Structure 1
Amino acid sequence: MSKGEETKEKILHQAAELFNQQGYAGSSISDIMRVTGLQKGGIYNHFKSKDELALLAFDYAIAQIKQHYRVALRSKRHAIERLQAIIDVFRSFVDNPIIKGGCPLLNTAIESDDTHPQLRDRTQQAMNSWRDMICLIIQKGIEKGEIRSEVDADEVATIIISTLEGAVMMSKLYQDSIHMERVIKHLNNYIETYLQI
């Protein structure tokens, strides 16, 4: 990796954390300069605008999360194990966040809802990717006889994602991971009793 590429990745990582903690609207170019230690010209040497940086920083954050899912799923073959691995990875983000500030998907979805259409679209694409991953695991599990045939994959994806994201919000709000622990216990029970054959 060249020095320029290293600098660009450093900016992306630090901007992703800044946007995730303060929001896009709440982060100024001065804030970006402060966290990166670069002058405005150094930032704009790599990015055309704050908007471009926000989109690419979001992509960077999501790519980091996807990498953790890929690693966790690599050794899992059974659909139930794969779903539980997704839940375990998500749970690990509470204690050891990849990007400081909570779930970038949740934070960006809330902030960009009405204020930044491009960022909202990018967030929706990331959510679709997560939903698709869960649905594919369930569909393959049904085909292999590991998951009950009447299970609606999209419905289960909604339940898992909404429950996990709600637990992140409550855990952050109360600064207490008990909310995530309860959700993990509930989802694992739900998967084992409702989905598994």
Structure 2
Amino acid sequence: MTKAERTRQFIIEKTAPIFNKNGYAGTSINDLTEATGLTRGSIYGNFENKDAVALAAFDYNYSLVSAAVAARIKERTGAIDKLKAYTSVFAELYTLPVLEYGCPVLNTATECDDTHAALRDKVKGAISQWYGGIEGIIKKGQEHKEIKKSVNSREFAGAFIALIEGGVMLAKVTGKSEGLEAALKQARKMITEIKK
């Protein structure tokens, strides 16, 4: 890794939590310089503008959540247990460092759905990957006769993602875990109901 690449990575890692906590609109260049200890010129010497930093920060934040889910999935065998990996990660909303300020997909989605097309496209890509991962697990489970053939993997994935992200939203807004716990309980029930 070159010095320039290390500097870019440093900026991304230091600013990613700020974008996840404050959002795009709520994060200023002063926040970026304070977090990194770098000058405005150093940041803009490595990124074209604040948008470029925000997009890279989203990718970084999303990669951390994806890695946490992937690690849990890898530890498990069977489609049913692999689906439960999603619920186990988000059950750690208050203790998993990457989720300290909430799910970056949800946070970015609520802010940029009508205001920032490039960030919205990043979120759409992340959600599409989640759909694909869940659908893949279900289809493999159907092939191995673990999951009922009648299950529509696309519909399941959409409802499953909505439940989990809705639970995260309730927990972050209210400061209480009961909404998240209820959503995760329903998500686990969904998993149980598709078992063959």
Give, in whole Å, the separation in 1 of the partners of 2:175 and 2:190.
Answer: 25
Contact 1:17 1:99 in 2 (8 A): no
SS in 2 for 1:77: coil
Partner of 1:10: 10
**Alpha-carbon deviation of 1:76?**
1.7
Output one character per residue of 1:37-65: Cα deviation in whole Å (capped at 9) or x when no partner: 11111212221111111111101111111
Q: Which moved more, 1:147-156 or 1:42-51?
A: 42-51
Give, in whole Å, the separation in 2 of the partners of 1:178 and 1:103.
Answer: 17
Identity of aligned residues (%): 38
Give, in whole Å, the separation in 2 of the partners of 1:54 and 1:152.
Answer: 35
Partner of 2:31: 31
User: TM-score, normalization: structure 1?
Assistant: 0.93
Partner of 1:73: 73
Alpha-carbon spacing, 1:134–1:183, altered in 2? closer, same or farther (3 Å): same
Structure 1 residue 168 and structure 2 residue 168: aligned? yes
SS in 2 for 1:109: helix
Give, in whole Å, the separation in 2 of the partners of 1:85 and 1:58.
Answer: 22
SS in 1 for 2:93: helix
Partner of 2:195: 196
Contact 2:93 2:168 in 1 (8 A): no
Give, in whole Å, the separation in 2 of the partners of 1:127 and 1:142.
Answer: 22
**Alpha-carbon deviation of 1:9?**
2.1
Structure 1 residue 41 and structure 2 residue 65: aligned? no
Partner of 1:158: 158
Q: Which moved more, 1:94-103 or 1:166-175?
A: 94-103
SS in 1 for 2:148: coil
Give, in whole Å, the separation in 2 of the partners of 1:94 and 1:137.
Answer: 27
Unaligned 5+ segments in structure 1 are: none
Structure 1 residue 105 and structure 2 residue 139: aligned? no
Structure 1 residue 92 and structure 2 residue 92: aligned? yes
Which residue identity does 2:118 align to in structure 1? Q
Structure 1 residue 182 and structure 2 residue 187: aligned? no
Contact 2:14 2:36 in 1 (8 A): yes
Give, in whole Å, the separation in 2 of the partners of 1:99 and 1:178.
Answer: 17
**Alpha-carbon deviation of 1:2?**
5.0
Give, in whole Å, the separation in 1 of the partners of 2:117 and 2:76.
Answer: 37
Give, in whole Å, the separation in 2 of the partners of 1:159 and 1:97.
Answer: 26
